[in-house]
Amino acid sequence: MASIRSLRPFAWLLPTVALLLSALGQVFPDNVAWGQDSATYTWDSVGADFADPRNIVTQRGAKDQVVFGRSSFAANRALLDNWYRNYLFPSMATEELFGELFDKRDNLTKDLENASDPALHQYLLEVAYEEATRRVTGNYHPYVRYNAMLIVGSLNQTEARMLGGLRYPAVRLPQAFDFMVDELKKPDQLDVVRVAAMLGIERHLRLVRQRPQDQPIPDGRRAEVAALMQSLLDEKAVPASRNVEGHTWLRRNAGDVVAALGAVGDNRAIFDSLVRIVGDAEEPLSLRCAAARALGDLVYTDVTGIDAVATVRQLAALAAYACRTEDTRAKEEEKAVEERRGASRGSGGLPGMGGYMGMGEMAGLGSAGMAGMAAGGPPSDVIGAGGVGGVGGMPTMGYPGGMATPGMGGMTPGGGGGKFGPGGMMPGYGGYGMGGMSPVDQEMDELIDRVRRRLKQPLHCVLLGIRGPQAGRAPTDALGAIAQLAVDDQQKAEITQVVKALDAVVTATDAQEKGLADMLKQVRTKVRDLESLLPNVTPAAIEPSAEDALPGGGAAPADAAVAPAAEEPAQPPAEAGTNKK
């Protein structure tokens, strides 16, 4: 059924696909450009039985009867072979049905979840693994290979289930993990396939952390993953084969994998890599926040030699830096809105708009990257404009808390747009009813919500790093993660003081009654209180300037000190991909 065809017949879809591949840094030679006859891949064709759409509907119905246990599996095996091998999997590698790629993956997910007959589930598992791995390794279009690897990573030996009123997570498929690690190790592997493999590897690691007795991962394999991820985390220079945004995205995913792994590394190597990224102002802000979040997921049992106070201060310095950066950006955006407001009033004003309820943003880091893409996509590197994590999500099959579905731009369990561990980071903020409000006034309200989210997100990353997954759900003085490494009451008191100062900044982001300027002013005040707790911040450095700008700037040095205000550049350091979407 396989054939070699060019990409020209479905050129209408190429811009969307090209966005993902470009953001991942896929570099194609000039003579293999999109839409040219020389750009060829292997494409499948669905079986002749499925040429008529009416037959597809009929056979889908018959297949569903078997999946839901209404018809015998043994008596209908040939029907299932025809459906999965001649239609479903070929349709995910067929140019004519390319736009339905992710819906088809979701259909497979549901079939596996609904197959209550163990023999049927085992059959579906074997077919899915065989068909998906063949397309991962074949000469298929990168998006087909990406989708196939997502399928491999989502396969479960046993699906998530309810027993006696208790929900049990899925049990991972061991050979799928081995396949993903082996493909990830290939030096010539496509970045899109690497990303999909990393998503699946993280999923396996988190399932094992939930129930270590279910298909534990051998120590040797865990060590391989740790070495691969640390190497990527430490790869600060962007390879020639990848662009900055794609490289940052891969490194953020590596941080999520080591977080799921939970190991601080031999001689604390992984921990040290994450701390270095947190304190390096030359690293993208989104990567620094991802590293901060990952620190909160590591397991510190029996770990010694970590200066808990210094690490907490370095994390707090990152939070202060992120708030300063957002303060500058918010003022620029507010100025632009006010200019439009003035122009609107000068031209006689615009009619009010009828009220409506705004949709809440997805839980996690901001709105979905590449919103509207069929498979999600690499988010912008701007915190809040795509999030720390966001990549095309995997099906909800067995993910702790559920995984983001395609088009939701993220892998966050329970949410989209970023990865903040099970349950996502925080709920988004919806719009307001806009009865009688001008479009410019509505825009200002939306700006306030955006700024609040962008302030909260790095703050929450830092609090997760300091206090662990319980951040935001436990009293301020409940110390976990790095904070639990305090060696005496004095260190505990110092860390608690920093945590309370961070919580105060978070609270200040909700002070919007008097508008954006008032909210920013209150945040600045609390950030100064936070910085006063950090080393090398002199009183002069935390005094407000004439325009009440946030103090400080530059990198947080290794001892977590915040640079004095005199060293602050006129504009925040440019982060990779700041204006990308």
User: What is each CA distance from 501 to 171, 454, 467, 504, 541, in whole angstroms?
Assistant: 41, 18, 14, 5, 18
pLDDT of residue 370: 32
Q: What letter does residue 410 receive in the DSSP assignment?
A: -
Burial of 158 (0-12, 13-18, 19+ CB in 10 A): middle
Q: How far apart are CA 92 and CA 164, in angstroms?
A: 38
pLDDT of residue 339: 85
Q: Which residues contact 436 (CB under 8 A, 6 or more apart)?
A: 352, 353, 355
**Token pair of 503, please?**
């919580």
156-158 and 161-163 beta bridge pairing: unpaired
Number of alpha carbons in the 13 Å side-chain half-sphere of residue 136? 30
CB 283 within 8 A of CB 574: no
Angle, in degrees to the nearest 10, between helices 439-467 and 308-346 = 180
Q: How many CB atoms lie within 10 A of CB 215?
A: 17
What is the residue type of 197?
A
Can you give the three-state secondary structure of 232-274, one letter per residue? HHCCCCCCCCCCHHHHHHHHHHHHHHHHHHCCCCHHHHHHHHH
Q: How far apart are CA 423 and CA 129, in angstroms?
A: 28
pLDDT digit string (tens) for 91-142?
A: 999 888 878 888 999 999 999 999 989 999 999 999 999 999 999 999 999 9
pLDDT of residue 245: 92
pLDDT of residue 476: 54
Selection from 160, 146, 174 nearest residue 112 by Cα: 160
**pLDDT lower than 50: segments of the chain:** 2-18, 23-38, 348-435, 537-581
pLDDT digit string (tens) for 545-574?
A: 334 444 443 333 333 333 333 333 333 333
